[in-house]
Amino acid sequence: MTISITSAFDSGNIKVLSINDTPDGVRAELEIVRDHQSDFYQWFHFRVAGVAGREVELAIVNCGASAYPGGWPGYRARFSEDRDSWLLADTGYADGTLTIRLAPDSNAVWVAYFAPYSMERHHDLVAWAACQPGVAHRELGLTLDGQPLDLLTVGEGEKRVWLYARQHPGETMAEWWMEGVLERLLDEEDAVARLLRAKATFHIVPNMNPDGSRRGHLRTNAAGVNLNREWHEPSMAQSPEVFLVRAAMDETGVDFAMDVHGDEAIAAVFIAGFEGIPSITERQLSLYHRYRDTLAARTPDFQTRLGYPVAGDGRANLSMSTNQLAERFGAVSMTLEMPFKDNDDLPDADFGWSPARSIQLGKDCLAVLAEMIDEI
């Protein structure tokens, strides 16, 4: 049986250095490929074939110089034999090498940094959502690779809510979160959805970075640009994704915004706010704190102990969307971060942080918004 390793598919990323097939087992040395025109790398996704019943050791040898070396200790890779259920693999990290050990039953096994979210699945999600009652779909424009940038709008209320995910394409949990949001919001028998749709109009961008997603990037678009450093000055040449979404936000205005991400190093779910913007108000800040604290009370998967340091007065980086939207619109805006590792407060030995937990968190985030939508 020939053993092969390939990433030549949607969101694939790996370079094969060597494959050694011995009677004791299979050992492959691999490297993660940098984002195109960028130095960032951490996302991997590949298929190993010809290994049914074998012991397989996969050594990714260039992890020490990746974007977030602090993401590797305590991290476990995901693998799947059916591409539906993604389990934690036996994974170790030492001296810049991530070693993944598998013993697959099937001939082919898929391995990834986190449960992938393909562009095909994105199209399925958008097509399904667009067919639900009351939903408007708009293509904002095309990316540098010529992919559509999709916006879904639903609700009749006056509060203007923007939810957008996956500026960083390797953070696939962000689009799983979007599935939860859309599932709940488009369920006409869900009381939270009924209330929110009466009081607010939702503008939802399930994937801000289709090109990086399909190319198997960690952090950038087709031009190697980090979209979450473009919000002060986006351009059609370098960051059309941000240019188009920000222009649509300028049309509607923004009262509440969530930017959804994954964090490599911190083993917890947390949010970051807009402290340090020049025009910050007490009202904005207290609503942000109320959202954060209510979410912590609602779900044990969210906490406030761990997170990013807060910017000092006037020190906010306005190239980041959360700060830009808070400054530009006076919005209550926030960045939601889910882990690649696990939520260490509630670890799951089989799945770790997972698509199912991301989906549930999306639903819980809507419930918290419903509790305070009148005040937003």
Question: Would you give the distance in Å from CA 269 to the centre of its chain?
Answer: 12
Among 261, 328, 357, 363, indicate the residue that binds Zn ion (CB under 5 A): 261
Half-sphere exposure of 269 (CA within 13 A, CB side): 29
The residue among 79 and 231 lying less far from Zn ion, judged by its C-beta, is 231
Q: Which stretch binds Zn ion (CB under 5 A): 127-135, 162-170, 206-214, 231-239?
A: 162-170
Q: Which is nearer to Zn ion, 201 or 209 (CB)?
A: 209
Instruction: Confirm or reject binding of residue 197 to Zn ion (CB under 5 A).
Output: no
Least Cβ distance, residue 265 to Zn ion (angstroms): 12
Q: Which residue, 143 or 172, is less far from Zn ion as judged by CB?
A: 172
Nearer to Zn ion, 47 or 261 (CB): 261
Q: Does 214 bind Zn ion (CB under 5 A)?
A: no
Which of 241, 264, 275, 337 is an active site residue? 337
Binding Zn ion (rule: CB under 5 A), the pick from 47, 122, 160, 168 is 168
Cβ-based nearer residue to Zn ion, 168 or 217? 168
Q: Could you identify the residue written with the tokens 């809507």?
A: 366
CA dist., res. 315 & res. 278, Å (int): 8
Give the nearest distance from C-beta 101 to Zn ion in angstroms: 29
Residue 288 Cβ, how far from Zn ion at the closest point, in Å?
19
Three-class SS of residue 21?
A: strand
| Sign of the dihedral defined by the CA atoms of residues 167, 171, 175, 180, in that order | negative
| Residue 318 DSSP code | T
Strand partners, 338: 262
First to last CA, the chain: 61
Q: Is 375 annotated in the active site?
A: no
Window contacting Zn ion (CB under 5 A); options: 95-103, 116-124, 261-269, 323-331: 261-269
Please answer whether residues 79 and 110 qualify as being in contact, where contact means their C-beta atoms are separated by less than 8 angstroms.
yes
DSSP states along 23-80: TTEEEEEEEPPPPTTSS-----EEEEES-TT--EEEEETTGGGSS-GGGSTT---EEE
Binding to Zn ion (CB under 5 A) within 77-96 occurs at none
Minimum CB separation from Zn ion for residue 261, in Å? 3
Contacts to Zn ion by CB under 5 A: 168, 171, 261
Catalytic residues: 337
